[in-house]
């Protein structure tokens, strides 16, 4: 069920008219639905419920808002973090240290130390040297660091090149055929509890075939490692499940994913870990924007909105599609380009797309903006950082303020030789 739906022709987030939020908070603004977050969290939990031992860690890079994390913590989700900052957020949101997994290809010594100090559940190692440093840090404190080795299965995820992570040429993980030798050396190091493997082959995967191929290779590796005498108790299967962005997008369901995982992992006898991001929050968010001008142009007219690439970077970065609709459509359509105010030609959300007819002052939304939206926002062009609102039933709360350029200026220093 979509918790963003129309009543009397006006788009609502749960029971709140989008126009009421825009009036109270201004635009652009991200709006998230608590009910959608909860539903997606529950759907995935249910799809994986038959597996013997499961741990789900929300990839908080997708949406690190503390309120969003709080909703997911209440659903029993842990966190997959990729920086010290994300680790602190997960803890601040009430996630238990032991439910936190630390991924990331460039964890610094300070970040590894922070993870040890906080007693997090697992480090996902990206290379042997990282494991050596972690082991030494842990050993120095009389600890043993729980870790898995991320392998790169060289599988084509069939997703956008900039969000593929499981091809041999990508920077992530160690080549799967190098894993046994690394295990032999690393597992016996004092301070290291090397207990399994991890993979994550990419994001926005619409089909299960690449995941199944990758998981199958991991299954073979687990057998090989066990044959070599290693105790393998944990396998982290990463995230990557896609969501529908375009009207006719077909993506595999959580149920099909669960069935595939059950089939492929039937004889693994491990704790399975998952790191979903987009699947949980993608469709739980909208970016609400106001039309500034409708500007005639040589081709199609430009609908210039007050949201821009600094608020939602995905179209400019990945040519990503985000459906646009008017909050109170007239029923008429026209073909237009949609662009933001930033001084870049690439600051476009759509080119030559049939959309609701809108005029200056009208409200519109970009859908499926709950993942990799606000979290990737910047202040480019000295624009304010976009605020975020969480809705639940007929209530809403501002869960991140609009941070004005003046505030950010206060964080800078002009040295005396410039003054």
Ligand X SMILES: Cc1ncc(COP(=O)(O)O)c(C=O)c1O
Ligand Y SMILES: N[C@@H](CCCC[NH3+])C(=O)O
Point out which residues bind ligand Y (CB under 6 A). 61, 163, 165, 203-204, 314, 318, 372
- β-bridge mates for residue 348, sequence order: 339
97 labeled part of a ligand binding site: no
Q: Which does 276 bind (CB under 5 to 8 A by kind): ligand X, ligand Y, none?
A: ligand X
Stretch of 135-143, 186-194, 234-242, 265-273 contacting ligand X, by CB under 6 A: 234-242
Nearer to ligand Y, 230 or 322 (CB): 322
CA distance 243 to 246: 9
- Assess 59 for contact with ligand X (CB under 6 A): yes
CA distance 364 to 350: 13
For ligand X, the binding residue among 240, 329, 364, 387 (CB under 6 A) is 240
Residue 281 is a catalytic residue:
no
Q: How far is the CB of 278 from ligand X (least distance, A)?
A: 4
Nearer to ligand X, 279 or 396 (CB): 279
Q: What element of type H or E holds 91?
A: helix 84-92
CA distance 100 to 146: 11
Out of 343, 411, 414, 418, pick the active-site residue: 343
Interface positions, 327-356, toward ligand X (CB under 6 A): none
Q: How far is the CB of 315 from ligand Y (least distance, A)?
A: 10
314 labeled part of a ligand binding site: yes
**3-state secondary structure labels for all residues of 191-241:** CEEEEEEECCCECCECCCHHHHHHHHHHHHHHHHHHHCCCCCCEEECCCCE
- Assess 239 for contact with ligand X (CB under 6 A): yes
Q: How do beta strands 100-102 and 78-81 pair?
A: parallel
Query: How far, CA to CA in Å, does 64 sit from each of 165, 389, 404?
Result: 21, 13, 20
| DSSP secondary structure, 107-136, as one string | --HHHHHHHHHHT-SEEEESSHHHHHHHHH
Stretch of 31-39, 129-137, 181-189, 274-282 contacting ligand X, by CB under 6 A: 274-282
Binding site members:
240, 275-278, 314, 318, 344, 372
Binding-site residue numbers for substrate are: 278, 314, 318, 344, 372
Binding-site sequence positions for pyridoxal 5'-phosphate:
240, 275-278, 372
Please identify every residue annotated as catalytic. 343
């Amino acid at each position: 069920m979509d918790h963003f739906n129309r009543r009397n022709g006006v788009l609502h987030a749960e029971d709140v008219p989008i126009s009421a939020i825009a009036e109270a908070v201004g635009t652009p603004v991200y709006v998230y639905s608590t009910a959608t977050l909860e539903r997606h969290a529950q759907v995935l939990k249910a799809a994986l419920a038959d597996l013997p031992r499961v741990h789900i860690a929300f990839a908080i890079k997708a949406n690190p808002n503390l309120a969003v994390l709080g909703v997911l913590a209440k659903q029993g989700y842990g966190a997959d973090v990729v920086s010290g900052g994300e680790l602190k957020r997960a803890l601040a949101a009430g996630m238990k240290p032991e439910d936190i997994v630390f991924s990331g290809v460039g964890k610094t010594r300070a970040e590894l130390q922070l993870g040890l100090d906080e007693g997090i559940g697992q480090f996902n190692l990206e290379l042997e040297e990282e494991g050596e440093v972690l082991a030494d840090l842990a050993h120095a404190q009389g600890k043993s660091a729980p870790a898995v080795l991320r392998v790169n299965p060289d599988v084509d995820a069939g997703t956008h090149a900039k969000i593929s992570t499981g091809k041999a040429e990508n920077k992530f993980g160690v080549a799967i055929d190098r894993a046994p030798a690394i295990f032999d050396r690393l597992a016996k190091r004092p301070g290291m509890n090397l207990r399994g493997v991890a993979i994550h082959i990419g994001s926005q995967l619409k089909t299960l075939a690449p995941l199944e191929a990758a998981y199958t290779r991991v299954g073979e590796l687990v057998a090989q490692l066990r044959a070599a005498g290693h105790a393998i108790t944990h396998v982290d299967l990463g995230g990557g499940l896609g969501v529908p962005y375009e009207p006719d997008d077909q993506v595999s369901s959580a149920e099909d994913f669960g069935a595939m995982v059950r089939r492929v992992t039937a004889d693994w006898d491990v704790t399975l870990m998952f790191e979903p991001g987009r699947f949980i929050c993608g469709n739980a968010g909208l970016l609400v924007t106001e039309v500034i001008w409708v500007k005639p142009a040589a081709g199609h007219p430009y609908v210039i909105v007050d949201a821009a690439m600094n608020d939602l970077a995905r179209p400019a970065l990945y040519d990503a599609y985000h459906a646009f609709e008017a909050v109170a459509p007239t029923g008429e359509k026209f073909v237009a380009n949609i662009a933001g105010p930033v001084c870049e030609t690439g600051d476009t959300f759509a080119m030559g797309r049939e959309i609701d007819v809108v005029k200056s002052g009208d409200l519109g939304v970009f859908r499926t903006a709950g993942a990799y939206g606000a979290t990737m926002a910047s202040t480019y062009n000295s624009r304010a950082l976009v605020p975020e609102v969480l809705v639940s039933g007929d209530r809403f709360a501002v869960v991140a303020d609009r941070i004005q350029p003046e505030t950010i200026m206060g964080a800078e220093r002009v040295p005396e030789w410039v003054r």
